[in-house]
Amino acid sequence: MASFHNKLFFSSLLIFCNLVLEVYSRGPVYRPPDVELLTDRFSQVSVAQSYNVSFGGSNIGVTNNGTSADLSLDKSSGSGLVSKSKYFYGFFNAALKLPAGFTSGVVVAYYLSNADVFPHNHDEIDIELLGHEKRRDWVLQTNIYGNGSVRTGREEKFYLWFDPTEGFHNYSILWNNHHIVFLVDNVPVREFVHGNAIGSVYPSKPMSVYTTIWDGSEWATHGGKYPVNYKFAPFVVSMRGIEMEGCVLNQRASCSRSSLSSLDPVDGEQFAKLSSQQMTGLDWARRKHMFYSYCQDKNRYKVLPPECNAKQ
């Protein structure tokens, strides 16, 4: 009987330890505040309507009658899509389901850029999902470059409050003349206000939208400490829920950046600042989930970038 009780005790202890490790590996589970669903305000478009192949075409599969796509990374290549249109500003969304398993060094990126047109003074707005150490499988990194300001990285990093490999989650960028907002499942995680402190480094030239998966072994995990292990390849990210609404380069006459009275759907007054609900969500995300901000990195910057000392 004692042997049975000992086995029962150790079995229970093992289950408890596994639960503790699972909580530790994913981080504490938090329920986000209720926020407006920006993704409900705009229409979805298909992959065929919105994207062209950027690279790795053989590793891209269009599914569900063109409404979704799978992008993969293997030892031969990563893969990527680029929007057919370029935008002066807009709201951009993709619902992504990330690769599961050991994904250290894998990078899934959803971003805006014009480096193809302005190689020396390009703009860029990044959402990067980094396959990280074993204990925390994926990390969200955001970054902003304006007018070629690549010497100043404006990274912020967050742990997610869900497992991004178990289902689709929305990753969104709102970019207009007033601010840049990064959102996850409609919860703002970062706001970058277009103020005097930012000046010429605020992204202002038309950009394309990219979705990519690639090998970031050299930098994504502590300078390459955990490179991609291709024994677990292919790594596949699935994408659906595509939304692209904004001022298209070749149709600029139909949109305006001139004032808050603009009737433009993405640059108008309703998108000029966050609502009280969104501010609550932003505060929650940053208090609970942000673990790195360039504005707190005094080892990296002896003099912090000017916007860090300005009231955003």
Q: What is the DSSP letter of 152?
A: S
- Termini Cα distance of the chain: 66
Strand ranges, E, within the chain:
51-55, 60-63, 68-73, 79-83, 87-97, 106-113, 124-131, 138-145, 156-159, 169-175, 179-184, 187-193, 208-215, 235-248, 290-293
Angle among Cα 280, 154, 290 to the nearest 5 degrees reads 40
Question: Which residues are known to be catalytic?
Answer: 124, 128
Residue 74's CB is within 10 A of a number of other CB atoms, namely 17
Residue 287 host element (H or E) = helix 276-289
Within a 13 Å sphere around the CA of 85, how many CA atoms are in the beta-carbon half? 20
* The two structure tokens encoding residue 140: 């969200």
